[in-house]
Amino acid sequence: MDNPSKIMEGGVEFSIGKFDGKSMNYDFPKILVYLNAKGKLLFGEKFKLYKEDRNILLKLCSYFIKDKTICKKFGIDVEKGLLLSGPVGCGKTTLMKLLRHLVPLQRPYEMIPCRNVTFSFNHLGYKTIEDYGNSRFYCFDDLGVEPPGRFYGKDCNVMGEVLLSRHDLFLQSKQKIKTHATTNLNAEELEERYGNRVRSRMRELFNLIAFDEGSGDKRR
């Protein structure tokens, strides 16, 4: 029987908690040790987790391991997806790429740059919106800064339409079809970009987890 408290990476076994055969008790400091090692394997030796991001990491890890006590404390609904927001370069994309490895038995999500969705729409039209309205799990990266959609002379707010499709899917599915996203924009900017209707659906679709506005650019 698989032991979910142990994860093998690069020939090294990491313990991320204790498993008694029925339930799993995660250990946050051990999770951070594992994520730091996994990050170096995925992104290179320069990767590191930052002390100032510890609160964000606690929220994100609690969501992925479905720690209902901590999630309740932070007002996080484990049935919804995540909208991770913060300034350029604060590490949103990196963390979303990393954290999908934390619970290997969970259904993985695919990272999709929003600009790729728009480029696909400009080439293929409305089939693109249908394609993303399926039951796969996605994390749409860099929401709100994608170029405008245009197909045969008609303008389309492509990601707005994709989010409406994903919202319909989320409401209809018994086992919630999850959608995640990262964005540099705040709530007002998102509403300006996508309109009030999409913004209200986003509240039902996502938990908002935000970096401090003063978070530095880690890519420098």
- Residue 174's φ and ψ, nearest 5 degrees, are -70, -50
* Weakest mean pLDDT among 96-110, 184-198, 203-217: 203-217
The pLDDT confidence band at residue 5, using thresholds 50, 70 and 90, is confident
Mean pLDDT computed over 134-138: 90
pLDDT in tens, 68-84: 999 999 999 999 999 99
Q: Please answer whether residues 141 and 114 qualify as being in contact, where contact means their C-beta atoms are separated by less than 8 angstroms.
A: yes
Domain tally, the chain: 2
Residue 24 inside a domain? The answer is yes
User: Residue 102's domain is classified under what CATH number?
Assistant: 3.40.50.300
Q: Please answer whether residues 63 and 71 qualify as being in contact, where contact means their C-beta atoms are separated by less than 8 angstroms.
A: yes
pLDDT reading at 220 higher than 70: no
pLDDT reading at 218 higher than 70: no
Rounded Cα distance, 132 and 130, in Å: 5
Does one domain contain both 107 and 177? yes
**Residue 147 identity (one-letter amino acid):** P
Does one domain contain both 187 and 88? yes
Give the pLDDT of residue 135. Answer: 85
According to the per-residue pLDDT averaged within each range, which of 114-118, 169-173, 183-187 is highest? Answer: 114-118
The pLDDT confidence band at residue 200, using thresholds 50, 70 and 90, is very high
Residue 216 inside a domain? The answer is no
What pTM was estimated for this model as a whole? Answer: 0.91
- Residue 9's φ and ψ, nearest 5 degrees, are -140, 125
Mean pLDDT of the chain: 91
- Parallel, antiparallel, or unpaired: how do β-strands 24-26 and 179-183 relate? unpaired
Rounded Cα distance, 64 and 102, in Å: 7
Residue 191 inside a domain? The answer is yes
pLDDT reading at 47 higher than 70: yes
Q: What residues make up the domain containing 108? A: 55-210
